[in-house]
Amino acid sequence: MNCHIQKAFILVLFLFSFFDCKSQKREECQILPTPVVYKRVKGNLYLSNLLGVNKKYWPKGTLNQMESMFNIFHDIQIKDTTGKGFIRLRKLQNVPKDFYSISVSDYIFISYSNDKSLYYAIQSLVQLIKTEDEIKYIPKAFIQDYPKFEWRGLHLDVSRHFFSVEEIKKYLDLMAMYKFNTFHWHLTDDQGWRIEIKAYPKLTKTGAFRDSTLIGHYSKTPQQFDKKRYGGFYTQEQVKDIVAYAKERYIDIVPEIEMPGHSRAALAAYPEFSCSEIRQEVPGLWGVFEDIYCTKEESFQFITNILEEVVDLFPGKYIHIGGDEAPKSKWETCKKCQNVIRDNGLSNEHELQSYFITRIEKFLDKKGKKLIGWDEILEGGLSPNATVMSWRGFKGGIAAARKGHYVVMTPGSHCYFDHYQGKSNEEPLAIGGYTPLKKVYEFNPIPDELNAAQANYILGGQANLWTEYIKDFKQLEYMAYPRAIALSQVLWCNEKPPYDDFSKVLYDSHYKKLSFLDVNYAKSSQRASIISQIHKKGISLKLNSPDSSDIFYATIQSDILDQVIKLNLRVGEELIIKRPEKHVIETKIKFESKNTSLTSEMNFTKHHALGVQVNYLTKPNPQYNYATNLLVDGQNGARPWRGHQWIGFDTSSIVMEITLPEKKKIKALEFSFLESQGSWIYLPQEIQVINISKRKKNIRSLRNINQEHTRLKIKRRIKKLRIQINTFSKIPKGLPGAGHTPWTFLDEIVFH
Ligand code: ACM
Ligand code: ZN
């Protein structure tokens, strides 16, 4: 250690011990992601429009970035000066990876460990500057900071919808602002091939364009198409430009070239590399397609020739090869694929996929690259050095980490930003699911199941932006922000502040920055909302608004009253929806908030089990279980599926018990299921109802369920029921998701 560095290190140690890391007033700090230490010191440092730095001490790239950011955000110019300058630098060693510190006193003093950490310091510094009455200043403070995880990623699917070079650059600028360091660029999929490959010009000439695109949601029948040609691609020159742009912002790009599935666009251009070799168009429908790359030698040649060009374009360590959602039906009947199975002593098509990925891994290894793929690459055996991106929950990531493989956590429950983020009907059409801001904030990439050694294999996390329903950049910004900022907290902060503190900084400071940058961020988390809870007489609705003086006008209509009831409700006041004495009652309530734009219409079915206890002997999948009382809350799940209202199960048998407060004559039970085969959501095969309040159990059962709404006659006085719902153990051949356990989605069991 040279003397200069040693002195600086002692200073850092001194400061570490002097300041309390868990500063009580962390919410005063405007920087997001929140730094490890923020210590406010008395006074402000006032800034002019011209700041002197001694440029010879600065890495050139970082200096350019700083000049540009100071100019854009604060109209401050940087001028070269002799002497120490206004912003002074000191290089450190033996500090945590990517460590920096900033001390704002009568000048600005930055200590940093590498050029990247200096860049992070500049990002923080830019966020610290305030302007009031045209006076610029920084509240004097001391900051120390370094990231928790080394993979802090955002993904973008440019296949389903295409985004221009300028839009990608804005996406990267925003990522850099929030200290993300990995851009996962999903460049190929069924609906469009988006990267120029010189050896195979038809990939972009044919594969980058589709003739028509689905209108509205996949589950809407009949499906309609817009009959408009759609597409685009990036030339290799544009790719290089974007890679360089990302590098200046210390962002690595991980390109994804999907295989063996999600390859219809490539196969539209080169059908000879599929099993059937039959030409098909680039689809304009979403979902999973049966035709995938064949495992014959020619296909490997094709894929590795493509990868040759890809590895040369992307200097980063990782190449993502997809590996998800590859149906095996074509391989099962393809002579050539079956020969590969036989010749290599493989036992089935899952092992064939593993063989496929392992061959690709060997190729990448020779090129000095690391393979990463979605968690399906675990099936049939993980190739030796593969890194796993866990998207179907945490399970795949846990299994991989236990085997000593590196993992990036990106579970659908917290990291799929194509899900809805609010309950309002004004949310733009989305694929489904419900991932509000707070849920993202609660994400922990390290599951409790892992011990400390295994946890070391978790590189970090990432949010995915699949764009089937994200048509343009404005909508992309809406889906990504502010959720990406919550994720930056998860991935950067060693100890993130409570959600309410984060939310306040977001509201007070960052929404203004986003507006200034013309980012169409979502205001869903700021909307007034209606919270439904169990009440002893049924369901209570509590009104919640960021503005405590808000008043809601409620208009209540029901099918047994001629009159419309009008009420004024203050924030926090409850409205009770009671179970009926006799018949089921349909009620419609419209809420209008005085102070915010919220209007909300809710339809209630008041029935005998409203708000009663449901005991799930089979646990719903945690990703699709948003509240404890969903099944008997009087509200039916919306169609198309809007995540928050439905309960989803991924088991072939579902058992639950429902207890009424007292014995009641029940005429019938009405079940409401969701069917969306493309999403592997199927109607069940059988429902059994068992009366367990009597010693002699009465059983009713129903088979051949072929509608989403199904009624089962009961005609008995009952108190406690057990309901068992059986579905396929595996989805039958020929149907989407064949061979996998189907999903069952249920919302509201109405007790008539
Ligand atoms: C995925 O969402 N199919 C990785
Ligand atoms: Zn084949």
Residue 511 · residue 521 · CB < 8 Å: yes
Q: What rounded mean pLDDT belongs to the chain?
A: 92
Q: How far from 681 is each of 238, 299, 414, 646, CA to CA, in Å?
A: 40, 32, 20, 12
Ligand 1 neighbourhood includes 374 CB (under 6 angstroms) = yes
pLDDT tier for residue 200 given thresholds of 50, 70 and 90: very high
Residue nearest to ligand 1 atom 2, measured at CA: 391
pLDDT tier for residue 694 given thresholds of 50, 70 and 90: low
d(CA 513, CA 368): 40
Q: How far from 278 is each of 192, 270, 291, 539, CA to CA, in Å?
A: 18, 9, 10, 57
Ligand 1 neighbourhood includes 375 CB (under 6 angstroms) = no
Q: Structure tokens of 201?
A: 């010009």
Cα of 411 vs centre of ligand 1, distance in Å, is 10
Q: Which of 155, 161, 186, 262 is catalytic?
A: 262
Question: What pLDDT shows up at residue 291?
Answer: 97
Question: What pLDDT shows up at residue 433?
Answer: 87
Q: Structure tokens of 181?
A: 């360091």
Q: Which atom of ligand 1 is nearest to the CA of 374?
A: 4
Task: Say which residue the tokens 């035709």 belong to.
Answer: 291
- Give the pLDDT confidence of 348-361 residue by residue, as tens digits: 999 999 999 999 99
- Give the pLDDT confidence of 593-637 residue by residue, as tens digits: 887 666 778 889 999 999 998 999 999 998 888 777 889 999 988
Strands 151-157 and 458-463: parallel
* Torsion sign (Cα): 155, 159, 160, 165: positive
| 262 assigned to active site | yes
Look at phi and psi of residue 416 and say left if phi exceeds 0, alpha if psi is from -120 to 50, else beta. Answer: beta
Summarize the confidence of residues 524-541 as an average pLDDT: 87
| Bridge partner residues of 271 (DSSP) | none
What are the percentages of helix, strand and coil residues in the chain, rounded to 5?
A: 30, 30, 40
Residue 658 · residue 721 · CB < 8 Å: yes
How many C-beta atoms surround the C-beta of residue 139 within 10 A?
A: 17
Please state at what angle helix 165-177 crosses helix 115-128, rounded to 10 degrees.
Answer: 80
Counting beta carbons within 10 angstroms of the beta carbon of residue 705, is it exposed (0 to 12), middle (13 to 18) or buried (19 or more)? buried
Q: Structure tokens of 514?
A: 């986003």
More confident residue, 543 or 104: 104
Q: What percent of the chain has pLDDT over 70?
A: 95
pLDDT tier for residue 151 given thresholds of 50, 70 and 90: very high
Residue 527 · residue 422 · CB < 8 Å: yes
Summarize the confidence of residues 458-487 as an average pLDDT: 98
d(CA 715, CA 666): 6
Cα of 509 vs centre of ligand 1, distance in Å, is 34
Helices (H), 389-436: 395-402, 412-415
Question: What pLDDT shows up at residue 12?
Answer: 47
Rank 226-240, 538-552, 727-741 by mean pLDDT and report only the highest: 226-240
Question: What pLDDT shows up at residue 551?
Answer: 86
Residues 6+ away with beta carbon under 8 Å from 208 = 192, 193, 194, 231, 232, 233, 265
Ordered DSSP codes for 626-663: --TTGGGSS-PPPTTT-GGG-EEE-SSEEEEEEEEEEE
Question: What pLDDT shows up at residue 696?
Answer: 64
Ligand 1 neighbourhood includes 324 CB (under 6 angstroms) = yes
Counting beta carbons within 10 angstroms of the beta carbon of residue 306, is it exposed (0 to 12), middle (13 to 18) or buried (19 or more)? buried
d(CA 123, CA 31): 9
Question: What pLDDT shows up at residue 600?
Answer: 78
Counting beta carbons within 10 angstroms of the beta carbon of residue 149, is it exposed (0 to 12), middle (13 to 18) or buried (19 or more)? buried
Nearest Cα to 661, choosing from 740, 718, 707?
718
Helix (H), strand (E) at residue 502: helix 499-505
Q: Which atom of ligand 1 is nearest to the CA of 412?
A: 2
* Torsion sign (Cα): 705, 707, 713, 717: positive
How many C-beta atoms surround the C-beta of residue 240 within 10 A?
A: 14
Question: What pLDDT shows up at residue 3?
Answer: 40
Ligand 1 neighbourhood includes 325 CB (under 6 angstroms) = yes
Nearest Cα to 411, choosing from 384, 442, 380, 381?
442
Strands (E), 477-537: 529-535
Question: What pLDDT shows up at residue 629?
Answer: 80
Residue 420 has phi, psi (to 5 degrees) of: -60, 150
d(CA 186, CA 373): 12
Summarize the confidence of residues 201-225 as an average pLDDT: 94
Ordered DSSP codes for 584-600: -EEEEEEEEESSSS-EE
d(CA 151, CA 180): 8
- Give the pLDDT confidence of 283-302 residue by residue, as tens digits: 999 999 999 999 999 999 99
pLDDT tier for residue 8 given thresholds of 50, 70 and 90: very low
Q: Which atom of ligand 1 is nearest to the CA of 322?
A: 4
Q: How far from 272 is each of 276, 278, 294, 296, 324, CA to CA, in Å?
A: 8, 7, 9, 10, 22
d(CA 317, CA 151): 12
Residue 514 · residue 482 · CB < 8 Å: yes
Question: What pLDDT shows up at residue 9?
Answer: 45
Residues 6+ away with beta carbon under 8 Å from 148 = 460, 491, 492, 493, 494
Q: Structure tokens of 43?
A: 């006074």
Nearest Cα to 684, choosing from 658, 713, 708?
708
Question: What pLDDT shows up at residue 654?
Answer: 97
Q: Structure tokens of 268?
A: 């539209």
Ligand 1 neighbourhood includes 27 CB (under 6 angstroms) = no
More confident residue, 14 or 501: 501
pLDDT tier for residue 726 given thresholds of 50, 70 and 90: very high
Q: Structure tokens of 522?
A: 């979502």
Residue 671 · residue 687 · CB < 8 Å: yes
Task: Say which residue the tokens 């590996």 belong to.
Answer: 323
Ligand 1 neighbourhood includes 392 CB (under 6 angstroms) = no
| 472 assigned to active site | no
Nearest Cα to 321, choosing from 278, 373, 253?
373
| 518 assigned to active site | no
| Bridge partner residues of 544 (DSSP) | 529
Query: Among 259, 374, 375, 623, which is best to mutate for testing ligand 1, by the most ligand atoms less than 8 A from CB?
Result: 374
Residue 109 · residue 103 · CB < 8 Å: yes
* Domains, in order of start, for the chain: 3-145 (3.30.379.10), 151-522 (3.20.20.80), 527-606 (2.60.40), 614-751 (2.60.120.1190)
Summarize the confidence of residues 376-405 as an average pLDDT: 94
Residue nearest to ligand 1 atom 3, measured at CA: 324
Nearest Cα to 487, choosing from 527, 448, 437, 447?
437
Cα of 370 vs centre of ligand 1, distance in Å, is 20
What residues have their beta carbon closer than 5 A to ion ligand 2? 275, 294, 334, 336-337
